[in-house]
Amino acid sequence: MDEPNLISRRRLLSGGAGMAGAVAAGAALALGASPEPAEARTRTDTTRRSYGPVAIIGDSISGGYFGGLGSALGGARVGPYRYDISGSRRIARSAGGFGSGAAAARSMIASGFAPRAWVVALGNNDFYFFRHKSTTPGAEIGALMKAVGPGRHVVFLTIWTTASTTWSTFNSGLRAAAGGSKYLHVYDWAAIARKHPDWLQSDGAHLTAAGAAARNQALARAAVQAARAAGATKG
């Protein structure tokens, strides 16, 4: 039976071989840094920097090297920032006890962190539902945009994976949605990542140490893109 291909939280939290904990350790060793604990899924940095506040929401594809993400955001002059990375996270619908990106956005806003600039890196865990046409990329992205709220700019990353061909369906739907909203923008991770097959682990979805480091830099660039769309200028 065709089951939902959820990018599991176990990959994000486990320190087992081949999982995100191992990737975090490998990235840290490769870059001469110490990895944050694998269970550290969220981080808030209150330091004010040139591009101002940005919120980042992702799944385990962005969870390979947490320490590097904070460094990349700080280096890009983004701050304050808050990121929330969780395995098995879908865009707008909770499933199997795992919260959605929309729920994470609502939680951030309710806690008082409500910047005008957001980065979202989700979609892999929605592939099953896109294939079976129980929802569409546009519907899920629209629900997330509603959760983020009016007047806020969202930069959404495209997807690249060799584990499924549904990435192209998602990316096309994302671009169509962005074409109809001045607040939704695209950062083309797929165009970058597909040139580097060594960035993917054997599952075709999760990232190697090199891929995780590159992903952090991409998230930082997407954060700057979001901040600029929201009106920030580098001081």
More confident residue, 43 or 66: 43
More confident residue, 190 or 6: 190
- Gap between the Cα atoms of 191 and 177, Å rounded: 18
Q: Are 84 and 231 in contact (CB under 8 A)?
A: no
Range scoring the smallest mean pLDDT among 91-100, 112-121, 182-191, 200-209? 91-100
- Phi, psi for 204 (deg, rounded to 5): 80, 5
Residues 157-166: pLDDT tens digits?
999 999 999 9
Q: How confident is the model at residue 78 (pLDDT cuts 50, 70, 90)?
A: very high
The mean pLDDT value for 102-130 works out to 96
The answer to whether residue 94 scores a pLDDT higher than 90 is: no
Residues 184-228: pLDDT tens digits?
999 999 999 999 999 999 999 999 999 999 999 999 999 999 999
pLDDT score for 20: 39
pLDDT score for 195: 98
Q: Please report, rounded to a whole number, the percentage of residues in the chain having pLDDT higher than 70.
A: 82
pLDDT score for 41: 80
Which amino acid, 26?
G
Q: How confident is the model at residue 32 (pLDDT cuts 50, 70, 90)?
A: very low
Q: Are 103 and 94 in contact (CB under 8 A)?
A: yes
More confident residue, 112 or 26: 112
How far lies 52's CA from each of 67, 77, 107, 109, 228, in Å?
20, 8, 20, 16, 10
Specify the DSSP element, H or E, that contains 109. Answer: helix 101-110
Delineate the domains of the chain, giving CATH numbers in brackets: 9-229 (3.40.50.1110)
- Gap between the Cα atoms of 158 and 200, Å rounded: 15
How much is the mean pLDDT over the chain? 85
The full DSSP string for 49-89 is -TT--EEEEE-GGG-S-HHHHHHHHHHTT--SEEEEE-TT-
The answer to whether residue 106 scores a pLDDT higher than 90 is: yes
The answer to whether residue 38 scores a pLDDT higher than 70 is: no
The answer to whether residue 123 scores a pLDDT higher than 60 is: yes
